A and B are shown apart, each in its own frame.
Chain A
Amino acid sequence: MKLFNTISLILSLFLLSVICSAETTIPGQIIKMDQGRSYGLMVGDIIEHQYLIAIDTDYSLSPSSLPVEGELTYWLDLNSVNMSSEQRGGKTLYHLTLRYQTFYAPLDVRALLIPDQQLVFTDSSNQRFEITLPEWHFTMSPIKEVVSSGIGNDDGSNGFMKADIAPRTHSLSRYQTPIIIYAGLLILCLLIWSALTGLLPKFNTSPFHVAKRHIKRIRRQKNMTSEQVQRGMQAMHDAFNARASHTVFAAQIDDFIKQYPQFNACRTQIEDFFQQSRNVFFFDEEPKPNLLTDCIRLCDRLAAADKVVQSKP
């Protein structure tokens, strides 16, 4: 018996050494794999298998041996195959990721199988070496019961229906400030555009009002020169031109009043202004002392007449 034990030990050591020597001659192997949960899968689930394969640098993976993306069976699709490699310590490490999707719709818990796959590696002398990705067993579960337990009470199919899940809300706080700024700018641009195109009549300040402010500023200055008076009169002319949208000359006063009958009550004063303007600008006469005061008074009346017309619907 003692001898038998001794022989057995020797044989074991021999076999172990054979196995060890055989292992040392294998050029590569799967050194790590992750296949995820193998139970409780449901129709539509993604199954991701990751493998880390180490192989001698003499060998390289034959791409044609990789599984082909697409429909594998009527219930199993291989959505993607991603492979990358790196050299480390005289070995080549292959990272392989296979993404399956199952469409099997079991009525009860059902065991299924993803079959094994062979990967082929070849060296420079065309020597082949295969590594098998092992088959994978897993179970799938139904999403719902075959017959609703509440169907007898519900008198319809509502027993199968679950309440809608309330949608998840996303926080918009980080967009809030830019949106407020851009909206403000947009509104401002629209207002400016509307004002420029005359779509905001209520904000349309009468040009005579503008002229009045201008003339008042000039009149506040001490020791007014005739050039300053001329600038004031020019502001008045600019107001007439702006109102008519073209240059208004003394000879066109009738046409101007015909176009803007609201100024008819001021006809005499308008004619007088144009005559004074002629005297100052073309006949080189000195302006009358109260000329700008008269202009301001006329501006008031014309602006008021303008306002009345603008306020009419």
Chain B
Amino acid sequence: MNQLSKTSTIAMSDWHALIRQMESSINNTILGQEHIVRLMTIATLSRGHILLEGDVGVGKTTLLKTVAECLGGNFERIEGTIDLMPHDLVYYTYIGENGKPGVSSGPVLKHGDELSIFFFNEINRARPQVHSLLLRIMAERSVHAFNQTHFFPHLQVFADRNRIEKDETFELPAAARDRFMMELHVEQPKSEEQLKDLMFNPRFHDADKLVDSADKAIVPFQQLNDIAAAIQDHVHTSEKVQDYGYHLCRALREPAEYGIQITDVDTSNMIRGGMGPRGISYLARGARVNAWLNGRDALVPEDFHMIIRQIAKHRLFLNPVYDYNRDDIVESLITAALNTIQSP
């Protein structure tokens, strides 16, 4: 299982070099986000969609644009606004030069099945109707328009939202959040040296130029599905690690069964839902990719640890009485599950 399928031309061993090059290029462009970049690489190689959130001006959009540039392929972007409607993603109408009305493909359809990255900026500013259309695009990688179904086999959706501003925003429904493989929280770099660099180095003052300076199309996006599938085949999961992964996910849904206790929380009545089949599948896929990125052909528990927070946090839905302190409680739950579930 060292070679990709017949449709791929790059040997699997060479993909390591390409991925390293891609990560290096992104890290040279975006300072202090090495961990986030690694998680985005894992999501990309797991063919999962990514939602970035964080404070204003920490570089979410720049990071997504840079990753999109490095991945290559056709890239489309749309800004979430309160008056954006689902059809704005599919088509737009105009009056042509001849004075006649015309209809053209919107950002989703424009590139057909060559669409690689769809970047939805400020997703929480769009209405739920738009979120609804996005659900199908993300889950099925297809959309029905002009009396036919259009497929986007290489599509990966990147979205971002800021957590500071809440006016005129629409919280993403649980179903939409579940379709994002990872929800990544971007913080500004902590290193003094990096912050000084961002502050005084003119290279970082113009975001467009900065993104443009990144290496482009480092990985062949048409082969991402193949390498993703090959990685899943390549990385072996022993019975013990499967047991561990299963119990880890179950402990997140049924913490009381595992004797997990959290201060001031009734753990037998705290979880309303979450970490369903899609979530646990993403966890296993991401863990396998992490193992492969670390040069292993077998999964170990630490591969789950690498991504469990980014995959589980937005999928766990608490009893409303605990929602006031959701972030802390979910973090405590995940930490307790990691400390409780035993593994060789």
**Which residues of A pack against B, CB within 8 Å?**
230, 233-234, 237-238, 241, 246-247, 249-251, 277-278, 280-284
Contacts and interface: CB of A to CB of B under 8 A. Distances in A.
Highest count of chain A CB atoms <10 Å: which of B302, B339, B343, B344: B344
A282 B342 CA distance: 14
Highest count of chain A CB atoms <10 Å: which of B241, B299, B300, B341: B300
Given A249-B305, A251-B305, A283 B342 contact: no
Contacts of B238: 281-284
8 contacts: A233-B344, A237-B342, A241-B342, A247-B340, A249-B301, A277-B344, A281-B241, A282-B300
A268 B342 CA distance: 23
Interface of B: 236, 238, 240-241, 298-302, 305, 338-344
By Cβ-Cβ distance, the 4 closest A-B pairs, closest first, are: A246-B339, A281-B344, A281-B240, A251-B302
A233 B301 CA distance: 16
A234 B343 CA distance: 8
Contact of B302 (A246, A250, A281, A284): A250
A241 B339 CA distance: 9
Nearest to B296: A283
Nearest to B336: A246
Contacts of A246: 339-340
A247 B340 CA distance: 6
A20 B341 CA distance: 107
A280 B240 CA distance: 10
Contacts of B305: 249, 251
Contacts of A234: 344
A278 B294 CA distance: 15
A277 B342 CA distance: 14
A282 B302 contact: no
B207 to A, nearest CB: 36
B60 to A, nearest CB: 29
A247 B341 contact: yes
Nearest to B339: A246
A163 B338 CA distance: 78
Contact of B300 (A237, A238, A247, A250): A250
Contacts of A230: 344
A247 B339 contact: yes
Contacts of B300: 250, 278, 282
A230 B305 CA distance: 23
A234 B344 CA distance: 6
A241 B301 CA distance: 15
Contacts of B302: 249-251
Given A237-B344, A246-B339, 11 more contacts: A234-B344, A241-B342, A247-B339, A249-B302, A249-B343, A278-B300, A282-B240, A282-B299, A282-B300, A282-B344, A283-B236
Nearest to A277: B344
A90 to B, nearest CB: 78
A283 B344 contact: no
Contact of B343 (A247, A283, A284): A247
A241 to B, nearest CB: 6
A241 B341 CA distance: 10
Nearest to B306: A251
Contacts of B301: 249
Nearest to B302: A251
Given A230-B344, A233-B344, A237-B344, A283 B339 contact: no
A238 B342 contact: yes
Highest count of chain B CB atoms <10 Å: which of A237, A278, A282, A284: A282
A207 to B, nearest CB: 13
Nearest to A280: B344
A284 B236 CA distance: 9
A284 B301 CA distance: 14
A174 B341 CA distance: 54
A241 B305 CA distance: 17
Contacts of A247: 338-343
A247 B299 CA distance: 18
B340 to A, nearest CB: 7
A230 B344 CA distance: 9
B23 to A, nearest CB: 20
B298 A282 contact: yes
Nearest to B337: A247
Contacts of A237: 342-344
A275 to B, nearest CB: 11
A241 B338 CA distance: 12
Contact of A282 (B241, B339, B340): B241
A283 B305 CA distance: 18
A282 B296 CA distance: 11
